[in-house]
C-alpha cells in the first residue's frame, strides 16, 4: 500500500515527500508519509488522488480530515497515515522533527 500512496503523491507532483517509520514508537500507524502542496487546491487534489488510488487498491481510508480548508489534509489508512500540507503548516508543525528522535530516521520516500 505504501507504493500506491507514494505513486499517487508523485502523480500529482506533491513536494518533498518524506516517509517516517514509526513502527514501535506508536500504535497509531507503522508509517507516516508527509508531503507538500503548493496551494490549498493542490493539497486537496493530492488528497483526492491518494483516496481514489487507495480505494481502487482495496483499502479505503478509515478517515479524512481537513479537506474543506486544504491547508493540511490527513488521510488515515490504518497502518499508513498521510499528511499533505501547505509549506507554512508543514514548517510550523514540524512533523518530521516530532517523529525523528535521533534525527536519522527521516527517509526520502520519493524524489520529486
Each of the 112 residues of the chain gets a pLDDT tens digit; together they read: 889 999 999 999 999 999 998 888 888 899 999 999 999 999 999 999 999 999 999 999 999 999 999 999 999 999 999 999 999 999 998 888 877 755 444 444 433 3
Q: What is the pLDDT of residue 108?
A: 43
What the block records as the C-alpha cell of 83 is 499528511
Domain boundaries, the chain: 2-102
What the block records as the C-alpha cell of 54 is 487507495
Q: Which three-class secondary structure state does DSSP give residue 85?
A: strand
Domain 2-102: which CATH number of 3.40.50.300, 1.10.1740.10, 3.30.460.10, 3.90.190.10: 3.30.460.10
What are the percentages of helix, strand and coil residues in the chain, rounded to 5? 35, 30, 35
Name the residue with cell 493540511. Answer: 72
Amino acid at each position: 500500500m505504501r507504493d500506491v500512496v507514494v505513486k499517487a503523491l508523485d502523480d500529482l507532483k506533491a513536494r518533498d515527500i518524506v516517509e517516517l517509520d514509526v513502527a514501535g514508537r506508536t500504535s497509531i500507524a507503522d508509517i507516516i508519509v508527509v508531503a507538500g502542496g503548493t496551494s490549498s487546491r493542490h493539497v486537496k487534489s493530492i488528497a483526492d488522488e491518494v483516496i481514489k488510488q487507495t480505494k481502487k487498491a482495496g483499502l479505503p481510508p478509515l478517515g479524512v480530515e481537513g479537506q474543506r480548508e486544504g491547508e493540511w489534509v490527513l488521510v488515515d489508512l490504518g497502518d499508513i497515515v498521510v499528511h499533505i500540507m501547505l509549506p507554512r503548516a508543514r514548517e510550523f508543525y514540524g512533523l518530521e522533527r516530532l517523529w525523528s528522535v535521533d534525527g536519522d530516521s527521516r527517509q526520502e520516500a520519493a524524489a520529486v
